[in-house]
Amino acid sequence: MTELRHDPIQRRWVIIATDRSKRPTDFLQETAEMGGGGFCPFCNGHEDKTPPEIFALRRNGGVANGPGWDVRVIPNKFPALMIEGGLDKKAVGIYDRMRGVGAHEVIVETPDHAMDLAEMPVEQLATVVGIYRDRLGDLLKDRRFKYILIFRNHGAIAGASLAHPHTQIIATPVTPLQVAVELDSAKQHHQIKERCLFCDIIAQEIDEGKRIVYLDDQFIAFAPYASRFPFEIQLAPRQHLHNFADASDADVVGLARAMRDVLGRLRKALKDPPYNFVFHTSPNTETTHKRAHYWQSLAFDFHWHVEILPRLTRVAGFEWGTGFYINPTAPEDAAKFLKEVQP
């Protein structure tokens, strides 16, 4: 039966079209592997082929911008936004413009070209996740940047141009619309009910249980009630926390454990599908120019989380034209299938 389900965070409707249903195994043939041959600038020993590093973890010493690193952070060689200069905001008739100021960094997660996050030991993945947190915190100090997005493209279909394991961070001088909708939804919910919208959803998911993929004392991962895509997962801390930059070391380890479990389940169940993950966290409330009362209640109403989005179906004209998403797999079925997999 086809249903329309409403997402109270994004305020969008999703069509769960189970009449067009595909079994979880039907998605396996739709994945595509990324070409892996040839030269890789991210591999150990090729440091001169990338911009000079911003940060590198070298447990056994070594020379800056040389080999022997465990994790390396570098500027993107082809950045979406440039770090230099001011915003130079101007009106162009009815339109507005500003300079493309921001930051675009790459976190090369391991010198091992074939290593996947789902295969990393928890301790190693926690080191990587800790660097996500630390880079976020550092970029938030730049008052030109209103939002910092941590994201990963895994596989060519998901937008990755290099197979070597890496995550990207882009800082922007505006708050992205999708995040702004989440922030506004969370704020309005809190104003009416004096509770966090995300905490309420987490409590209901735990109570119902049928969409949960992973649960421990620290983190929950579940297929959202109004999932846009087959096997979409939302991963969040159970304890209320609005800014990932404020996550404790224990939170980082717990997140690494949860990410490894969930990504491992997806990898095994769907034969290493292409996917994106994105961190949605608090915007920068210390920007140079901001509206009055800009997100002043964030600490109470927002809740940072990670969205994991396997790329198993295509977005086409209907979706672009209406904002509806058509998902042929009910989130309850996706969660049940993933829970039966041992990563």
Catalytically active residues, by annotation = 166
Residues β-bridged to residue 15: 4, 326
- Burial label for 95, CB within 10 Å (0-12, 13-18, 19+), is exposed
Instruction: Please choose, from the candidates 153, 143, 170, the residue with its C-alpha nearest in 3D space to the C-alpha of residue 81.
Output: 170
Q: Quick one: how far is CA 64 from the chain centroid?
A: 29
Which tokens is 166 given?
A: 């890496």
Residues near 23 by beta carbon (within 8 Å), at least 6 away in sequence: none
Q: Name every residue whose Cβ is closer than 8 Å to that of residue 202 and which is 6 or more positions away in sequence.
A: 220, 236, 238
| β-bridge partners, 96 | 91
101: nearest Cα among 75, 119, 82: 82
Q: How far is the first Cα of the chain from the last one, in angstroms, to the nearest whole number?
A: 31
Question: How far is the C-alpha of 182 from the C-alpha of 180, rounded, in Å?
Answer: 5
Distance CA 226, CA 16 (A): 8
